[in-house]
Structure 1
Amino acid sequence: MRLSNRNKASVYSFINTLLLMFLAGGIGAYILEEYRFNILGNESYLFIIVPVLMLILFYLSGRQIFEYDSDGEAVHFRNRNIIPFLNKPLSDEFPKYKLLKFEVISVFFIKRLYITISSKNSGSTILKYEISYLTRKEINDLKFSLNKVVKTNNEKRAKNK
């Protein structure tokens, strides 16, 4: 199964640009308020605080683009940000038989996918991906596909014992 929200990159770029323009406008409004009009008093700081909080919220939600591919014998995960220099993109590919379990954690508006894979050195390794920008249907499809792989792996392990 393939899952990708790469086609929404232009929407996320637009939102990012809009938030940056909102911040620039807020800074301009703050400067005009402080040095020209002086009507609001201390509330004029909201012109800067609100856009900064919205930008922080946008970036804290995680990397915007998530791609998953389980076709063939390997599972491939890619997670990147629309702004290339902001975060290092994640890209992991491993055989399906190494997938032990997965967990989707949702806290407020932040969603994370934790994948546990078997490793020769340490026994198991946990990989973390940010899936906050996936829709509920995409997350359900991802869970269904990963459940299928984990179930197949558990059946093979039980058969070999």
Structure 2
Amino acid sequence: MRLSNRNKASIYNFVHTLLLMMVIFGIAVFLLNEYRFHAVGKESYIILILPILLLVIFHLNGRQIFEYDSDGEALNFKNRNIIPFLDRPLHDEFPKYKLMKYEVVNVFFIKRLYITISSKNSGSTILKYEISYLSQKEVNDLKLSLNKVVKANEEKND
């Protein structure tokens, strides 16, 4: 099964650009109000804080692009940001038989995928992926695919 939200990258770029423009506009309006017009009182801080808060939330959600491929004998995970220099992209590929378990964690608007794989050196390794920008249907499809792999691995080990 293949899962990707790469086709939504243009939407994420647009939202990011819009948020940056709102921050710049907010700073300009705030400075003009403080030093020139004095039209708005303490409410002018809202013009400054709100766009910055929205931009921070956008980046705290994590990497926007998530790709998953379970075709063949390996599982392939890619997780990257739309802005290349902000985060290093994650890319992991490992055989299906190494997958021990997975967990999807939802905290408010942030979703994370934790994958536990078997490792020769330490016994197990946990890999973390940010899936906040996946739709609920895509998350359910991902869970279904990973469940199949985990169940197949448990049957082989029994």
Q: TM-score, normalised by structure 2?
A: 0.99
Task: Report what 2:79 is aligned to.
Answer: 79
Letter in 1 for 2:18: L
Deviation sequence 1:128-152 (CA, Å, 0-9, x none) = 0000000000000000000000000
Matched residue SS, 1:75: strand
After the TM superposition, list the runs of 4 or more consecutive aligned residues in structure 1 that deviate by more than 4 angstroms: none
Matched residue SS, 1:71: coil
Unpaired segments of 5 or more residues in structure 2?
none
Task: Report what 1:109 is aligned to.
Answer: 109
Tell me the percent identity.
72
CA RMSD of aligned residues (A): 0.6
Distance 2:134 2:74 in 1: 22
Matched residue SS, 2:3: strand
Distance 1:127 1:115 in 2: 5
Distance 2:110 2:49 in 1: 21
Task: Report what 2:150 is aligned to.
Answer: 150
Deviation sequence 1:75-123 (CA, Å, 0-9, x none) = 0000000000101100000000000000000000000000000000000
Matched residue SS, 2:43: helix
Matched residue SS, 1:26: helix
Task: Report what 1:96 is aligned to.
Answer: 96
Distance 2:46 2:141 in 1: 41
Task: Report what 2:132 is aligned to.
Answer: 132
Matched residue SS, 1:41: coil
TM-aligned CA deviation for residue 127 of structure 1: 0.2
Letter in 2 for 1:127: L
Letter in 2 for 1:103: E
Task: Report what 2:52 is aligned to.
Answer: 52
Letter in 2 for 1:97: Y
Matched residue SS, 1:115: strand
How many correspondences in the alignment? 158
Distance 2:40 2:107 in 1: 36
TM-aligned CA deviation for residue 42 of structure 1: 2.0
Q: TM-score, normalised by structure 1?
A: 0.97
